[in-house]
Amino acid sequence: MTRPTPPEPHRALTLRDVSEASGVSEMTVSRVLRNRGDVSDATREKVLEAARRLGYVPNKIAGALASQRVNLVGVVIPSLSNMVFPEVMTGISKTLEDTGLQPVVGVSNYQADREEQVIYEMLSWRPSGLIVAGLEHSEAAMAMLAQAGIPIVEIMDIDGKPVDSMVGISHRRAGRKMAEAIIAAGYRKIAFLGTHMPTNDHRARKRLEGFEEALAAAGLSLVDREFYSGGSALAKGREMTETLLKRRPDVDFLYYSNDMIGAGGLLWCLEKGLDVPGQIGLAGFNGVELLDGLPRRLATMDACRLETGVAAAEIIAGKRHSGVIGGEVIEFEPKLQPGDTIRKA
Amino acid sequence: MTRPTPPEPHRALTLRDVSEASGVSEMTVSRVLRNRGDVSDATREKVLEAARRLGYVPNKIAGALASQRVNLVGVVIPSLSNMVFPEVMTGISKTLEDTGLQPVVGVSNYQADREEQVIYEMLSWRPSGLIVAGLEHSEAAMAMLAQAGIPIVEIMDIDGKPVDSMVGISHRRAGRKMAEAIIAAGYRKIAFLGTHMPTNDHRARKRLEGFEEALAAAGLSLVDREFYSGGSALAKGREMTETLLKRRPDVDFLYYSNDMIGAGGLLWCLEKGLDVPGQIGLAGFNGVELLDGLPRRLATMDACRLETGVAAAEIIAGKRHSGVIGGEVIEFEPKLQPGDTIRKA
DNA sequence: GTTTTCACTGTTAGCGCTATCATTAGCAAA
DNA sequence: TTTGCTAATGATAGCGCTAACAGTGAAAAC
């Protein structure tokens, strides 16, 4: 293998090195490398050749400072292992791809103080825009966002007041809609199974609130509930389902706060030979691709993750010609996917 | 809710603003904000109060340029939706947490040219170190990495020559080991099911090569193979398994290139009432947490993802006192998890 | 009283690049 | 020839911060 020999192992190269190597001014090199302004073909070739030969990589720090422009878009999400955020990221990345903007991910682990730190860190790099999951932030974080002077898009929740723009679904409404569908299908003894962090996962909380609202409107209420935290969601789904059904064998519907534990529950029910959806119905939330491979399709509700990512990125990139400057609100309609685990009404 | 009113909506604040507001020099403000050097308590308080009141966020771009230090660590991975990389990220984040270093993620989508771009982009921000998945890169990318003058850690594969350091497992050996276990358990008609991108996913390729090597050493060879691309891995696992077993009903072992399709295959086999692992054995690769919730535990091999992330981050952070400066090689031993889908030898 | 020391604060000079304006050369029109 | 214009290139002045050094005053040591 022939690897090009580094001219000098270290001492970072600068524009001046390229300029000297190609016999033109630094300014001209800068123009060539950024494809800006008029440069003759001959000069351009000379410069590019020299840059390639030396292995020059521009220093964006200096460039950004001088031009006051940074092609970065910060994205602050609670978790990467959740399966739902990667899909949002896909939408963001795709949309940003041809704009010269680059997404930079930060993870808050569902902790407000950690989120505040991450936002601070991101803003200190003066990005072109910031996408943040959720509407709930520490007061300090909100103040920073409000003052940042760049487009801010809060995503995946629209039940509240945004700092600037927001894109996503109403989880309250999603919960309500699911409850209505379940009631319409004739289920009456409904239980909830979800994650054990009602104070941190605001979207799950709002979903449950909406769900209970709709139950109440029909004169019903949850007959039982079961919470978990940590571990393999699939395994936890099994365990919780078993625990709950042992405690309340009369329950006829299990509403899970996410598809993963729902899938675990479904597998458990099928193994036990329960009649799904006759004897007992199940539903999750998110519409993850995973469900396509299960023995039976779990009822769920699509959270429009891809669309959310795309729209958020479009706002940042200024691709959305709505006439509005900032303060946009885009609501997606979560679609019920009845699957095979809820009786046909 | 009382939100602090922004003094002036825009015009980014600088050190000078804080300096004027608190009546000390910019330098002293800088010292306070970075906790560096001696500053009297009275002054410190004054400055912090002013900074807070104004909502000042330091400009790291200027700071980095001046100090020639950037607290960023680039991480270049092929995909986020893969479930395996998030766990590596967890190890990296945790380890970096108390070092003042921040990971920045870039995604290459398993494309060498895209990876080259991402590496270029990252290096242009002059990070403190770079973690890159895999050992195979475009020639230009290798040249950039070699010249970067910062610690480079290639992870998740050690079958090859690193630019600088490398951390991970030998996929060739992992494949070999799995084949040996399968053969030892008495299976003879072994088929492979995997992703349809042998040229892009080098780790899957090496695993298969090692697997076939070990088969050959025992006088065997794969009796059939089936490939897929895109879509829900779980669903694809089902489909492929069905297709393959229709074509070759005599096959007695299915080796999957990852756990997700393996899980799909397992669900299919159980549904069809096949005797697993008596009549037919199954194995995947990765050791994903998901498997804990399946009706039966799929045989797999742990890829040591968390440890890999931790070790890579330690190298970058200089936490590893091996005496070696750069060029470290850390190999983890993939552990076979026999689960319930391979006969006890 | 003088010198030394120390804790604190300020001054100066860039970091590597780009915006802006100035300059030059080349060529056509007057 | 001179003028005017355009394309190509260069010179200059920062961007907002920090490293390095230079004060400053007060207390401590002589």
Rounded to the nearest 5 percent, the helix, strand and coil shares of chain A are 45, 15, 40
Give the pLDDT band (50/70/90) at residue A8.
very low
Q: What is the mean pLDDT of residues A122-138?
A: 97
Residue whose tokens read 């290798």:
B142
Per-residue pLDDT at B203: 94
Task: Give distance CA B123 / C1' C12 (Å).
Answer: 31
Q: CB contact, 8 Å: B31 with chain A? A: no
Is strand D within 7 Å of residue B62 (CB)? yes
Helix A139-147 crosses helix A112-123 at what angle (to 10 degrees)? 20
Spatial distance between the Cα atoms of A143 and A139, rounded to a whole number of angstroms = 6
Over residues A199-215, the pLDDT tens digits come to: 788 999 999 999 999 99
Report the DSSP beta bridge partners of residue A331. A168
Q: For residue A295, give the nearest of A273, A320, A313, A327 by alpha carbon.
A: A273
CATH 2.60.40.420 fits A15-66, yes or no: no
Write the residue in B57, B124, B271 that is nearest to A59 by C-beta. Answer: B124
Instruction: Name the average pLDDT for chain B.
Output: 92
Nearest-CA distance A243 → chain B (Å): 15
Is strand D within 7 Å of residue B20 (CB)? no
Over residues B240-250, the pLDDT tens digits come to: 999 999 999 99
Write the residue in B4, B65, B295 that is nearest to A62 by C-beta. Answer: B65
Per-residue pLDDT at A192: 97
> What percent of chain A has pLDDT above 90?
83
Q: CB contact, 8 Å: A290 with chain B? A: yes
Q: CB contact, 8 Å: A48 with chain B? A: no
- Alpha-carbon distances, residue A240 vs A131, A149, A228 (angstroms): 34, 46, 8
Residue B27, classed as helix, strand or coil, is: helix
The bridge status of strand B336-337 relative to strand B300-301 is antiparallel
Spatial distance between the Cα atoms of A87 and A89, rounded to a whole number of angstroms = 5
Per-residue pLDDT at A83: 79
Instruction: Locate the domains of chain A by residue range.
Output: 15-66, 70-169+305-331, 171-302
Write the residue in A120, A290, A293 that is nearest to B238 by C-beta. Answer: A293
Burial tier of A298 (Cβ tally within 10 Å: 0-12, 13-18, 19+):
buried
Spatial distance between the Cα atoms of A204 and A38, rounded to a whole number of angstroms = 55
| Per-residue H/E/C for B201-229 | CHHHHHHHHHHHHHHHHCCCCCCEEEEEC
CATH of domain B71-169+305-331: 3.40.50.2300
- For A70-169+305-331, the fitting CATH number among 3.40.720.10, 3.20.20.70, 3.40.50.2300, 3.40.50.720 is 3.40.50.2300
In CATH, what class is A171-302? Answer: alpha beta
Smallest CA–C1' separation from A64, nucleotide: C17
Per-residue pLDDT at B10: 61
Per-residue pLDDT at A342: 96
Per-residue pLDDT at B8: 41
Q: CB contact, 8 Å: A64 with chain B? A: yes
Cβ-based neighbour number of residue A66 at 10 Å: 11
Contact B57 A102 (CB under 8 A): no
Contacts of B273 in chain A (CB under 8 A): none
Contact A90 B104 (CB under 8 A): no
User: Is residue B30 predicted with pLDDT exceeding 50?
Assistant: yes
Q: CB contact, 8 Å: A119 with chain B? A: no
Per-residue pLDDT at B231: 82
Which residue is closest, via its CA, to the C1' of D6? Answer: A38
Spatial distance between the Cα atoms of A242 and A225, rounded to a whole number of angstroms = 12
Q: What is the mean pLDDT of residues B278-292?
A: 91
B171-302 has the same fold as B15-66: no
Give the pLDDT band (50/70/90) at residue B113.
very high
